[in-house]
Amino acid sequence: MTPALDGRTSTELAISGMTCASCAMRIEKKLNRLEGVTAGVNYATGNARVEHPAGVSTATLVETVEKLGYGAAPPATREEPTSEGADRSDGSGDSGGEVGALRHRVLVSAALSAPVVALAMVPAWQFVDWQWISLVLAAPVVVWGGWRFHRAAAVNLRHGTATMDTLISLGTLAALLWSVWALVFGDAGMPGMTHRLSFTAEPGDAIYLETAAAVTTFVLAGRFFEERARRRAGEALRALLDLGAKDVALLTDAGEERVPVERLVVGDRFVVRPGERVATDGVVVAGVGAVDASTVTGESVPVEVSQGAEVVGGCVAVGSRLVVRATRVGADTQLARIARRVAEAQHGKAAIQRLADRVSGVFVPVVVLIAVATFVGWLVLARDVTGAFTAAVAVLIIACPCALGLATPTALMVGTGRGAQLGILLRGPEVLESTRRVDTVVLDKTGTLTTGRMRLVGDVADTALRRAAAVEDGSTHPIARAIADAGRARGALPAATDARTIDGLGVSGTVDGVEVLVGRPALLAEHGMDLTAALRAELEAAQAEGATAVVVGWEGAARAVLAVTDTVRETSAAAIAELRALGVRPVLLTGDHESAARAVAASVGIDDVRAGVLPEQKADTVAALQAEGHAVAMVGDGVNDAAALAQADLGLAMGAGTDVAIEAGDVTLVREDLRAVPDALRLARRTLGTIRGNLFWAFAYNVAALPLAALGLLDPMVAGAAMAFSSVFVVGNSLRLRRFR
């Protein structure tokens, strides 16, 4: 349960017993009827996310769900099955137990159904009273094999509703009972009677044992493959959650002590040996080596680390022993935040899913009405009881709301999971629609196109550098850090008081009793400090070489030019080329001087440069591009990018940037590689395309199949197989996203 600032609370429930999208819609509607409650139920993940007033307890939510005949519990308290093969046919328990139970029922049902179908299909194999043998074999399949359908249908009936299970239960039980009636009271029970599928069969003598058994087996098999595929769809998130270390070598005064990772607190030091996972986020305090972060950030090459380097929990140490000081633990770690973001994205619903949800909510009652109308229509128009019954059963069995319910969430599960493996985190499904329209990408320079690891170049007088460094020391901006580090390298910095940031211009503070200004020439000019000809020439020379230059001054005079250079990321040019190949125009937007900005832009292949832009003007620039009719994506990493990220149609935050930027973005790029930007666009577009393909198939299948069944053009056995295949197809199509590169 997560408390919110407005007095509302967010609660997640694990729902058991759902068998189709109609179940999810029922639960969602019931929860939303509670006062102040907003709920979303995801059939594919088996979870419900509920926003509710603090006065509505979790127990009330659970009770509401259970009254509908389903199970509900917070995920942490949900009981795990003792073995995968445990028979949890009521739908409770985890997916592993569910898959094992389904496998067992499918195998037994298939073994019993095969001879029933064979005897019905091959007249030469039929013998005296073979129908009774078929009944003995088929009855356990329909009753025991299909028990999950009958039980769920009964529960739904008790609550005055209907789901997919209602259709299957009605269809298979009708076929079985019709056959029993025909065997006991009709000519079908007489010795020597041939089956309706033989060439000499009479319509009034028809029995449907093979239909009842085969349909039950087909549907069970479909559920088995669907459940197994759904588990595979969620593997990426489960693998992410499993990356965390279980225990850690904690350093204490007495030496190393192996303790559970939960005992770590911020500030603890722990040892990571080669081949071990880093237990939590931290800073290396001793040792030199490398870490393989591929499973967490998508970085394919191990990163060299030494004293002072930050490491992420879940990465694998390579090379030598490291001592790390914990900086984040538990839910605050990057791994936990990634998993939380992925889970939130998988739970959401894209706008494209709303139509499917509305259809699923009324699907089953409509199908039952169509089946009744089909039966009556055949009786009135064709006066054929057998044809009427066959067509009505086919209508009941071939309808498949599951495919509609699975179309969006399974694609989201696989797409967001694959994205997490590649260091791409989507905030939610609504992001997918935004990526489809994007035609312009606005990129910040420092920390985005460049590494953000800046260094001071050129000779600077000691006093000017140390005073500038003292004022900049409190800032986290890359330029400020470069100046502060350079000053500190010459010795201890003097104390700075009254330090403050002047947005977009620079900083000021009091050092050695005088007010020191560091920033753009315009900042110093406002305070009457104009540049001398020599300083101006030095400034222009630094900018011409692509450096970012600031000026330091005090007591009414500009004293020195500080030139800071950054390194363009090796992959930036390739990323820009990929963006152009996607039909997206890149734009460089930076607060740096025109010359420095154009030098970087030319090196990576960007023509459109907007330089000298103040932080508050970045959002205005994005808005201006939008006003021209462009769908704009913004890529940034700093606090000064947050407003522009929020203004853009799609905000992409570099994961190494600030928390403010990450929270403002729609997509977080965990790996420090600009190629993640075109990767994110391609993955989001591919996921959206998969969702659209799934929904098209689901709608087209039902629109085409129901009329064919009603016209008597589909045998119920074929209908059962087609229905099972439709759900498996949708999930299988989504699984193709796992191969995204």
Tell me the catalytic residues.
444
Reduce the secondary structure of 237-271 to three states and give it as a string.
HHHHHCCCCCEEEEEECCEEEEEEHHHCCCCCEEE
The strand order across the sheet containing 608-610 reads 424-426, 667-669, 650-654, 632-636, 440-443, 585-589, 608-610
Distance CA 275, CA 720 (A): 51
Token duo for residue 615:
């932080």
SS3 319: coil
Beta-carbon contacts of residue 387 (< 8 Å; ≥ 6 apart): 203, 378, 712
Beta-carbon contacts of residue 106 (< 8 Å; ≥ 6 apart): 217, 220, 221, 224
| Amino acid at the residue 522 | A
Distance in Å from the first CA to the final CA of the chain: 36
Place of tokens 């001087």: 593
Sign of CA dihedral 461, 462, 464, 465: positive
Distance CA 330, CA 321 (A): 23
Going by C-alpha positions, the residue among 419, 460, 418, 693 that lies closest to residue 562 is 460
Beta-carbon contacts of residue 612 (< 8 Å; ≥ 6 apart): 591, 592, 593, 594, 597
Distance CA 559, CA 339 (A): 50
Instruction: Specify which residues 260 forms β-bridges with.
Output: 247
Distance CA 146, CA 620 (A): 62
221, HSE (Cβ side, Cα atoms, 13 Å): 20
Going by C-alpha positions, the residue among 235, 678, 683, 229 that lies closest to residue 417 is 235
Distance CA 230, CA 452 (A): 41
Contact 724, 146 (CB under 8 A): no
Task: For residue 630, give Cα distances in angstroms to 430, 442, 652.
Answer: 18, 11, 17
| Amino acid at the residue 583 | G
Token duo for residue 734:
């989504």
